[in-house]
C-alpha cells in the first residue's frame, strides 16, 4: 500500500469511527430505497438537524455517502464503490 492509499483509508476510517456517523451510515443502508432524507435521520439519532447535517457532510466528504439536493431537503445514499474498496482493504489477502 502506498502513502496516498494509506492517507485515503485513514480519512475514510476516521469518518466512520464516530458512533453517530456509524449509526447514520447504518440507517441510510437499512432504508428500503437505499437513501434517506436528512429529515428522517434526526429523530433516530436523537440530535438536531444542524448536528446531523454536520456528520453527514463529513461522510460525504470522506466518500462514504452521496448527497442529492431535492428542493429544500438533501437525500443521502451509500457510495457503494467506497465501501467495496474498504471491504477489500480489510479482507485478508
**Per-residue pLDDT tens for 69-83?**
988 889 999 998 887
Q: What is the mean pLDDT of the chain?
A: 89
Cell of 80: 457503494
CB–CB of 58/12 below 8 Å? no
Give the whole-angstrom CA distance, residue 25 versus residue 83: 11
* Domains present along the chain, CATH in parentheses: 3-90 (1.10.10.10)
**Per-residue pLDDT tens for 49-72?**
999 999 999 999 999 999 999 888
pTM for this model (two decimals): 0.86
The whole-number pLDDT of residue 1 equals: 67
**Per-residue pLDDT tens for 15-44?**
989 999 999 999 999 988 889 998 889 999
The whole-number pLDDT of residue 84 equals: 84
Amino acid at each position: 500500500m502506498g502513502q496516498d492509499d494509506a492517507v485515503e483509508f485513514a480519512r475514510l476510517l476516521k469518518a466512520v469511527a464516530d458512533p453517530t456517523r456509524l449509526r447514520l451510515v447504518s440507517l441510510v443502508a437499512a432504508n428500503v430505497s437505499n437513501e434517506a432524507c436528512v429529515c428522517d435521520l434526526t429523530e433516530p439519532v436523537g440530535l438536531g438537524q444542524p448536528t446531523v447535517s454536520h456528520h453527514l457532510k463529513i461522510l460525504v466528504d470522506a466518500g462514504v455517502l452521496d448527497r442529492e439536493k431535492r428542493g429544500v431537503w438533501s437525500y443521502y445514499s451509500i457510495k457503494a464503490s467506497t465501501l467495496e474498496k474498504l471491504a477489500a482493504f480489510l479482507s485478508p489477502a
